[in-house]
Each structure stands twice: as C-alpha cells, then as structure tokens.
Amino acid sequence: MVFEKRKFAEQQVMKSSICHLSSVHNALDTRIFYRYCLSLKTAYNVSLIAVHPKEEWREGIHIFPFHRFKNKLLRVSFTWLIMFFKAFRLKADLYHLHDPELIPCGLLLKAFGKQVVMDLHENVAEDIFDKPWIPFKKPLYWCFHFFEKLAVKRLTLVLAENSYEARYQKMGADYTTILNYCDVSFFKPFSEPVNRNTNRIFYIGILLESRGLQQISEAVYLLKQRGVEVHFDVVGELYSSLEDKLLALPYWNEVASQIHFHGCLPLEKGYEISRNAAIGMCIIQPMKNSIESYPTKMFEYMAIGLPQIISNFRLYRSVVEKHQTGLCVDPGDAAAIAAAIDTLLKQPELREQMRKQALQAAPEFDWFIEQEKLLKLYQRLLKLP
C-alpha cells in the first residue's frame, strides 16, 4: 500500500485535488464512486470519505472509511463535525458533499476558503414528508430549510433531477443538474455472454420498503400458487426493518427458498449475477420524489439488455414504453406484477425484442453527457483553463 501511495503521488502531484464526502452512502455507491470519482480520476487527485470498512486505494481512488451512526439523532448532531475534521486534514482544493446532514460541514469548509459543492440526490424537502420513519416532520423540514437557504447563499449546488430545479431557481441558487444516467461502456461487458432463458428475476440497489420487495415477494408467491417457480436474486444491503417485515409476511416460508439475498456487492460483482436473469425488477413505490425522478436501475438494465418490469409512473413510461424495453405495472398490485413476470417468462421472443431495443436506446442516456457537465463545473470553480 505504501508503494501504491507513492506511485499515485508521483503521477498526480500537479493535479488539483477533489474530495467527495458521504456519511450515509457506502463508498462504492453507484453515483458517487462509479460515476463521479472514476470519471474524475484522470483529471484530478480524487479521494473519498464514505461508509467503508477500511482505508484503501481502489481503481485510483483513495478511500477513507467513515463510521455511520445507527442512532439517527446522533448522526444528525455530530456527523457533520466529525466529517469536517476528517475532510479538512486532506487539504483538498474542492469538496463535494452528498448528504444534506453535511451542509454545516460544507459551510464550515467554505468559511476556511475551500470550494464546496452540495449534491442533492433528491428533493430533500419533499423526501422528509415521504419517509414514514421520520418523526417531527414539520420541525425537521424547517430545520432543513434554514440550512438549505444558507447553502444556497454560500455553496454551489448539484441536482440529480430536473424535477426540483424550479425550487432552487426561485431561491437564486448557483446550480448544475447532473442526471443519473449510466456509464454505458461500464455496463457493456455485462450484456454478453448472458443466459436470459431462465426463471430468474433480478434487483440491485438499496433495499428499503419503498423499493417494492414485499410486492415482488407476493408476486413470487402468487406465481408459485399457479405452478410457476420463479427465483429472485437480490443484491444490496438488507436493513433490519425491512427484513422483519419480510419475515412477517404470511406466505414468507413458502417463498423464502426462492428469494436469494447476495448482500451489498461492488457494482461489477452485482451485475455478474444479472447474466443469468430473464427480467430486471424496478418496482418503486409511489412517493413524490420517486414519481418525479428517474431510477438509475432503469438505465442500467437497458445498458445490459435486460428486459424490465417497472412502476407505471408517467416519467418511467416515457422511456420504457417509448423504447419498448419492458412492461410498466401498478407497483402496489402484486397480481399485476405476477402477470407481467409470467408474460415475459412465457414469451422469449418478446424478451429478445426488448433486449435489442434496450441496447439500441441505451446510448441516449449515457453518463458521458453528464460527465462533461461535472468537469465544466469543477473547471469553473477551480478557475482552471
């Protein structure tokens, strides 16, 4: 590791340094590590402080571990200050923050003369009211709004969707919208060789109740009742609250052997599992944020030519139905999800047509387009030629 550090130091001594910070996301988060950090490493020295088991170099990125508080009150109260001290020690030229709870950290870094970008992955103000586990929603909203106004005045913002641009336009923010498109070149190797003629369905991503795991599990049960055995491969961190709800389902014991949890894996290892899947699942439940935001999985499934079953929100349909890459269903209707799975499993010709359509359409949603926006933003903030 000492040799590797020396090697990178010699190669990158003249580059400006960028540090990405997240107290919530895993270090190998798709947007943060695979989109941002890897896109930046040829032009900048890139470090990342995020939830991770150890300090290491990975693909040219220096990762520093951050301990995520399980207690949400402790997390909100102290995380920003701990992160500030960790970040300030690195003496980066620009800091890019990925969690709203780090706004105070960003303001303090800015007070010390650093360039700071605050990346709002979602419409946080609306998200407070969407999440059932959040208590005291109105006080929390006003607390966030207070820090939000400070961030708008002092920091540069990045938005992940067009849907909440109007909010920040009204506030006079300096912002850039960088959409959650996928790196088509990264996913191309997972489009071949594949075996799509299986009875396996696939999901990768964060595992929350809002991601439709209960509805998909019920659909697997309904299909089993009809004599159709479907196996469901799930890649992602399973939170205890969701696990308890799955175990409490009245039919869980009948389908438990058909649902395979692979845990949280690096993106490339997770998508290795998709090679044997017939269908990709994206059954996101209706919340204001989700209805108005593109799911990253939709584009990733397209990039690997995986036919998908996805929630029938207008925004999603505008892509999936237009390009004929999957079926759109009511995300709360397990019977409709089961029927869609059954339809695709019984029609290999339709799946093959969707596979071809997906691969053809994927370049329209390539990360390369958004990467150029990110590079121009950094160039402007760092006053580089």
The residue that leads in pLDDT, 66 or 237, is: 66
Each residue of 67-113: pLDDT tens digit?
887 777 777 778 999 999 999 999 999 999 999 999 999 999 999 99
Please check whether residue 343 is in contact with residue 59, taking contact to mean a CB–CB distance below 8 angstroms. no
- Beta carbons of 92 and 19 less than 8 angstroms apart: yes
Position 242 confidence tier, pLDDT thresholds 50, 70, 90: confident
Q: Is the confidence at residue 10, as pLDDT, over 50?
A: no
DSSP 3-state of 75: helix
Of 78 and 21, the one with more pLDDT = 21
pLDDT, residue 289, reads: 76
Contacts of 231 (CB under 8 A, 6+ apart): 199, 200, 201, 258, 259, 260
| Percentage with pLDDT > 70 across the chain | 93
Long-range CB contacts (within 8 A, 24+) of 81-88: 81/105, 83/21, 83/23, 83/49, 84/108, 84/109, 86/49, 87/19, 87/21, 87/49, 88/112
List the domains of the chain with CATH numbers. 2-181+367-381 (3.40.50.2000), 184-365 (3.40.50.2000)
Res 334: pLDDT: 97
Whether the pLDDT of residue 127 is over 80: the answer is: no
13 pLDDT band (50/70/90 cuts)? Answer: low
Q: What's the mean pLDDT in 351-380?
A: 95
The predicted-structure confidence for 184-221, as pLDDT tens digits, reads as follows 999 999 999 899 999 999 999 988 888 999 999 999 99
Instruction: Decide if pLDDT at 4 tops 80.
Output: no
Paired tokens of 294: 């593109």
Q: Amino acid identity, residue 212?
A: G
- Give the up-direction half-sphere exposure of residue 108: CA atoms within 13 A in the CB hemisphere: 14
pLDDT (0 to 100) of residue 130: 63
**β-strands 308-311, 326-329 pairing:** parallel
- pLDDT tens digit string along 296-316? 999 999 999 999 999 999 999
Paired strand residues for 200: 231
Is residue 133 over pLDDT 70? no
Which whole number is the average pLDDT over 169-177? 94
Q: Which SS3 state, helix, strand or coil, does residue 136 take?
A: coil
Portion of the chain with pLDDT greater than 90, in percent: 75
* Measured distance CA(268)–CA(314) in Å, rounded: 30
